[in-house]
């Protein structure tokens, strides 16, 4: 596994080197010396036959479009429960701890249940302070007393992440958020005027 990862890393770096110097004809020599240095250093040969001919190996990350997209900061700062809130499908699996190394594995089938992101995120409380945190429990069933996850979350972060995902992710096209950067100082006036008008009409 370590070798495979190292190969992917090498191939991506080689490709970038080539892209950065398209005019120079000595790219092939560069790559060859690079590979030789890697063989000296790590003791293995990353797809030497293909690369020495100047081709990209079929297993490379670039050829198969396996490079991940750029992760926006709004999604990166989310904590565990907030990531659960914005996911469209929730995975359920039986986790076990593996005998050595302290790693976790899963056993048996995995079930993916569709999650109602729009209803969930729209029904979160909106505290006046945008950086406020609330305590939230994620349960499997509302009637159960136990919970799956109990954490402090910031509702505004979830909103922000969904707004970003709506722009860049096709799966989030149908999801609509009620408020677009709400401002309670304006909303108070609006509500006061609305209630006054309503009362006057009623009387």
Residue 44 CB, shortest distance to other proteins, in Å, is 19
Return all residues near 156 (Cβ < 8 A) that are at least 6 apart: 126, 130, 131, 132
Residue 58 CB, shortest distance to other proteins, in Å, is 5
For residues 148 and 186, give the distance between their C-alpha atoms in angstroms, rounded to a whole number. 37
Closest C-alpha to 54, from 74, 78, 25? 25
Q: Which residue has the tokens 């249940």?
A: 113
Number of residues in contact with other proteins under rule CB under 8 A: 56
Interface of this chain with other proteins, residues 40 to 99, rule: CB under 8 A = 58-59, 63-72, 75-76, 78, 83-91
Residue 137 CB, shortest distance to other proteins, in Å, is 4
Among 170, 180, 185, 203, binds other proteins (CB under 8 A): 170
For residues 108 and 93, give the distance between their C-alpha atoms in angstroms, rounded to a whole number. 7
Whether 132 and 150 have beta carbons less than 8 Å apart is answered as: no
Binding residues for other proteins, rule: CB under 8 A, are 58-59, 63-72, 75-76, 78, 83-91, 110-117, 119-120, 123-125, 133-142, 147, 150, 152, 165, 168-172
């Amino acid at each position: 596994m370590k070798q495979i990862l190292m190969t992917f890393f090498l191939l991506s770096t080689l490709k970038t080197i080539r892209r950065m110097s398209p005019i120079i004809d000595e790219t092939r020599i560069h790559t060859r010396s690079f590979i030789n240095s890697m063989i000296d250093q790590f003791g293995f040969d990353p797809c030497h036959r293909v690369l020495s001919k100047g081709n990209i190996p079929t297993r490379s990350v670039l050829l198969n479009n396996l490079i991940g997209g750029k992760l926006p900061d709004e999604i990166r700062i989310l904590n565990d429960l907030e990531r659960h809130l914005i996911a469209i499908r929730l995975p359920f699996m039986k986790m076990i701890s593996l005998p050595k190394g302290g790693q976790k594995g899963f056993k048996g089938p995995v079930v993916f249940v569709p999650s109602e992101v729009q209803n969930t995120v729209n029904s979160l409380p909106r505290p006046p302070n945008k950086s406020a945190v609330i305590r939230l429990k994620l349960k499997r069933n509302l009637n159960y007393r136990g919970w799956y996850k109990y954490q402090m979350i910031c509702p505004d972060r979830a909103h922000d992440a969904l707004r970003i995902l709506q722009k860049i992710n096709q799966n989030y096209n149908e999801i609509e958020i009620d408020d677009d950067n709400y401002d309670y100082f304006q909303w108070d006036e609006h509500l006061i005027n609305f209630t006054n008008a309503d009362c006057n009409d009623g009387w």
